[in-house]
């Protein structure tokens, strides 16, 4: 009865992968590209077969191959699935760029070509497939990373090669390149600067609340309440007093401190970054095993030495987790601040909303998302690096 490897494992259908392929096949139905006569007009949705029959055939073949693989069991099927999925992603990207250019060449210059539902759902289905393949494969980490990142890498390569230039968003971008760079810089200065200041204020407050029972309650009470307040409301509540201040003391206006704009935004952003940082600093210190400090004292270490050599390295990863949360949160909050005149990528979003120009909206929204994801990934790596070896994983 007993065998070296239970046969069931390899032959069971991979339900996640199969789900992905079904979604992928269904994604061939809705429109892949939308042709709009101008950047604000409604568009005509073009189906895949209206664009290129060959593409339909190609995708059907690829998805069917994935479906078959997903249902039957073969050795190393996950690798094959992963390779096929990445192939689908790459082909989808290449096709989209190619078809968009072809379309664009046949219409007026102000017309816009945007990716449609079919395109997006195909990419999503391929992601599901890549995920399933990555989960189940037993190959080396090298292969796993290749599976995960090939699609994304190709996307960026194509992007920089100008492959996607005919697509609506890129067209919009090309009309706004300088401004984009300006707002991006502004955005990063706003959220980066605020979180840095928030950290400088938050860490001492966190230390204080951890050491003093009496300080703990009021600090957390205020931090918790401010965190709950909606960002737009907090901006609003700050504008009135700041306006009054800048009217009363015109000298402030010389420094750029006014009722609207960057000032209330920065103040609010600092306030919002306080809770995660205070909370995590508090937890990091409270979680320290008192026995460890006791041992340090027993060894003859001074309080400062204990702080530097024991408390800081052990607490650092958890505090940095708090900084990560504050940073990711601030990317979004800064975007909202564009509404009160602070600038940043949010300006594109709100301008696009005002003009009913979807491409402008996307030009703002997508980079905001990418920025948040990048900041998140970067900080997670930092946290991982600072985690002392020998400490179990898991932070606040």
Query: Could you list the residues that contact other proteins (CB under 8 A)?
Result: 1-4, 6, 14-16, 19, 114, 128, 131-132, 135, 225, 228-237, 239-240, 243, 259-260, 328, 331-333, 335-336, 339-341, 346, 349-350, 352-353, 356, 358, 361-362, 364-366, 368-369, 372-373, 376
Task: Please give, one letter per residue, the 3-state secondary structure of the chain.
Answer: CCCCCCCHHHHCCCHHHHHHHHHHHHCCCCCCEEEECCCCCCCEEECHHHHCHHHHHHHHHHHHHHHHHHHCCCCCHHHHHHHHHHHHHHHHHHHHHHHHHHHHHCCCCCCEEEECHHHHHHHHHHHHHHHHHHHHCCCCHHHHHHHHHHHHHHHHHHHHCCCCCCEHHHHHHHHCHHHHHHHHHHHHHHHHHHHHHHHHHHHHHHHHHHHCHHHHHHHHHHHHHHHHCCHHHHHHHHHHHHHHHHHHCCHHHHCCCCCCCHHHHHHHHHHHHHHHHHHHHHHHHHCCCHHHHHHHHHHCCCHHHHHHHHHHHHHHHHHHHHHHHHHHHHHHHHHHHHHHCCCCCHHHHHHHHHHCCHHHHHHHHHHHHHHHHHHHHHHHHHHHHHCCCCCCCCCC
Cβ 349 to other proteins shortest distance, Å: 5
C-beta of 245: minimal distance to other proteins in Å? Answer: 13
Q: Closest CB to other proteins among 305 and 355?
A: 355
**Least CB distance to other proteins at residue 331 (A):** 6
* CB nearer to other proteins: pick between 312 and 370: 370
For other proteins, give the closer residue by CB, 247 or 249.
247
* Minimum separation from the CB atom of position 310 to other proteins (A): 29
In the bound state with other proteins, the residue whose beta carbon lies nearer, of 39 and 387, is 39
Closest to other proteins by CB, 152 vs 366, is 366
Whichever of 125 and 306 has its CB closer to other proteins, that residue is 125
**CB 4 → other proteins: shortest distance, Å?**
7
Q: In whole angstroms, how close is the CB of 359 to other proteins at the nearest point?
A: 8
């Amino acid at each position: 009865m007993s065998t070296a490897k239970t046969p069931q494992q390899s032959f069971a259908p991979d339900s996640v992968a199969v789900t992905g392929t079904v979604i992928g096949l269904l994604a061939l139905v809705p429109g892949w590209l939308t042709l709009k006569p101008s950047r604000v007009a409604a568009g005509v949705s073009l189906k895949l077969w209206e664009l290129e029959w060959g593409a339909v055939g190609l995708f059907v073949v690829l998805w069917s191959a994935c479906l078959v693989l997903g249902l039957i069991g073969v050795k190393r099927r996950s690798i094959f699935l992963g390779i096929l999925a990445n192939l689908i992603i790459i082909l989808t990207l290449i096709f989209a760029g190619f078809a968009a250019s072809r379309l664009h060449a046949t219409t007026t210059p102000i017309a816009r070509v945007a990716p449609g539902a079919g395109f997006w759902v195909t990419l999503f289905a391929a992601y599901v497939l890549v995920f399933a393949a990555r989960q189940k494969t037993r190959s080396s980490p090298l292969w796993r990373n290749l599976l995960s990142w090939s699609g994304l890498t190709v996307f960026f390569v194509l992007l920089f090669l100008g492959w996607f230039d005919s697509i609506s968003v890129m067209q919009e971008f090309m009309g706004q390149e300088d401004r984009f760079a300006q707002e991006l810089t502004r955005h990063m200065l706003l959220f980066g600067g605020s979180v840095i200041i928030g950290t400088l204020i938050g860490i001492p407050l966190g230390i204080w609340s951890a050491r003093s029972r009496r300080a703990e309650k009021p600090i957390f009470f205020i931090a918790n309440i401010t965190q709950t307040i909606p960002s737009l409301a907090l901006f609003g509540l700050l504008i009135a007093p700041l306006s009054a201040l800048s009217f009363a003391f015109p000298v402030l206006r010389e420094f750029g401190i006014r009722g609207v704009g960057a000032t209330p935004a920065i103040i609010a952003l600092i306030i919002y970054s306080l809770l995660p940082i205070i909370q995590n600093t508090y937890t990091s210190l409270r979680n320290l095993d008192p026995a460890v400090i006791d041992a340090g004292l027993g060894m003859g270490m001074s309080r400062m030495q204990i702080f530097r050599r024991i408390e800081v390295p052990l607490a650092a990863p958890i505090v940095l987790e708090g900084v990560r949360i504050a940073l990711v949160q601030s990317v979004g909050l800064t975007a909202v601040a564009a509404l009160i005149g602070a600038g940043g990528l949010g300006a594109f979003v709100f301008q696009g909303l005002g003009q009913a120009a979807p491409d402008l909206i996307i030009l703002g929204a997508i980079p905001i998302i990418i920025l948040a994801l990048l900041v998140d990934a970067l900080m997670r790596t930092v946290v991982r690096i600072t985690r002392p070896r020998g400490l179990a994983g898991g932070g606040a």
